[in-house]
Chain A
């Protein structure tokens, strides 16, 4: 073993970082998704929102822009149906508006599975909206898994609030 002779050229980018953490900004990064990550629904404006705007949608829905799911489930129950009917009615009133349905999971699932689970939930909400007559072409889905909780506790109450699908209309 002591006679092994090997020569190697290792590609060691980190060798640049002689002086501890030389953080180098990479050249191309995807742009910030920014407002697409709006999981909150408070627009906090005192004046009446413009009809047909996302602010108007949030005001009109009074919480029904979000539907909630049981642990590991993605079925649309009675309360969800009422909320989605309200959403569909608004969307049909403003037929030029498009919307994104964001699916989320609580922190008590593994990261990748939760991404897929959030997608499943967003898709369930979308399908129900389509069944109510909303053109599927107006709706997109996105999942954030457990990456964007609204309730920050580690308890049943918080987890229930985080297992959700939020409809966000696109201004």
Chain B
């Protein structure tokens, strides 16, 4: 098994950014560069004054073969810029123009851009970079962000990556640009676990699968012989917690991604549901039904005795920890229908926070701690958010059946799955906190139960 590593260097060659700490204001972009065509649906692009960003192919000092899937360093330079362009598109902030319609800068222009060329193309920002061989078969990728009008470098970084990790360099570069220009935390260098679905509606085959945040490096982990449901990446990305049936009984498994094996975490005569990690990865929350009554329990992730956290009659299920691990948001129908409750991590001080018509389900605490995303059911299912006190509730989506939100690592984007009426076919979608920018994340087959992992270290 390869243990790839990424080394990030401060670029000694780059000019460190001192001034310009505040993100630049977004000027109106008249004569925006020609767009290459959106891959998703942007519901309300016209309201936004997107920042035009030119992302030409990364330069190289010599076009030499690499061990990557992208080909030579020259081809890799184009592929890196394409990945960055796709990342920055469709999030309501930027209007990126990629390498396919831009001239490729020379290697010595990377640190000294031809600003006139780019201002002539109405680019407000410029992302340039280089790729060249590093130690062994590794690759060195540099990434620079320039303000074209100010003719000033805003940020730079470089990473040495194993060949199989070349896309991570593009995600790191995207994160640098996104964080510098938006003032938000990065999120592109992250992964998603979900359930890949195939087959007829009455016998869907459900397989555990993982992929990068942009859908690349997709991989199936289970064969689909048994139903797999509700995966969650561990905070260190080493394993995935999920539910699988065994002889007709749902049990909780942990899939070890380093060993490519799975182990049974918990089995019981009683059905088990809704496994979740604590933010430090030391605890697992789950629900267990005894004689039709479902409660939430907590146990050490390494195994051991469980503690019961809820004891009211009804279905208590679907816990999600606050980022500091001190509280848990969960759903309960103890009042008659599904509503959202918060309790301390030891089960004390249980308090209902949602008081809305219909049913409120699948709460997920934002990694920033400021919002809780959930599924609101009034016939149709919509994704909504509210603060941890249950205030400021608002909808982000409006469709027939949108379910099970999961947060991007920066707490600004929510992923969920959308089920089509009739066919029951499910697909993965993303929406930002404004609700304006919605896009589908394309998967090889249908997808449901997405779980977004944290930013990779």
Which residues of A are at the interface with B, using a C-beta cutoff of 8 A? Answer: 1-33, 36-37, 39, 72, 74, 100, 107-113, 115-117, 119-120, 122-124, 127, 141-144, 147-150, 152-154
Contact = CB atoms under 8 A, between A and B. Distances in A.
5 contacts: A13-B1, A24-B260, A33-B246, A116-B315, A154-B424
B248 A30 contact: no
Interface string B139-179: 00000000000000001110000111100100000000000
Nearest to A123: B292
A110 B362 contact: yes
Chain B, interface residues (CB within 8 Å), range: 35 or more
Contact of A37 (B162, B236, B248): B248
B217 A17 contact: yes
Interface of B: 1-11, 14, 16-17, 68-69, 155-157, 162-165, 168, 191, 200-204, 206, 210-212, 217-223, 225-227, 229-230, 236-238, 244-251, 253, 255, 257-258, 260-262, 271, 273-274, 287, 289, 291-294, 315, 317-318, 331, 333, 337-338, 361-362, 375, 377, 379, 381, 401, 403-404, 419, 421-422, 424, 444, 448-449, 456-457
Query: A-B pairs with the 7 shortest C-beta distances?
Result: A15-B164, A123-B292, A36-B248, A30-B246, A13-B257, A120-B292, A14-B217
Given A18-B68, A30-B226, A112-B230, A2 B219 contact: no
B292 A10 contact: no
A135 B165 CA distance: 59
A47 B406 CA distance: 53
Given A113-B318, A116-B317, A20 B5 contact: no
A123 B315 contact: no
Contacts of A148: 202-203
Contact of A33 (B157, B247, B315, B448): B247
A32 to B, nearest CB: 4
Given A14-B211, A20-B69, A149-B202, 12 more contacts: A1-B17, A2-B10, A4-B8, A12-B164, A12-B168, A13-B258, A22-B219, A30-B246, A30-B253, A112-B362, A119-B292, A123-B292
Nearest to A120: B292
A92 B51 CA distance: 75
B16 A2 contact: yes
B87 to A, nearest CB: 17
Given A21-B444, A29-B223, A111-B230, A150 B202 contact: yes
B95 to A, nearest CB: 25
B33 to A, nearest CB: 28
A12 B236 CA distance: 11
B16 A8 contact: no
A65 B317 CA distance: 29
B416 to A, nearest CB: 11
B289 A116 contact: yes
Nearest to A121: B292
A112 B318 contact: yes
Contact of B315 (A9, A16, A117): A117
A36 B226 CA distance: 11
B231 to A, nearest CB: 12
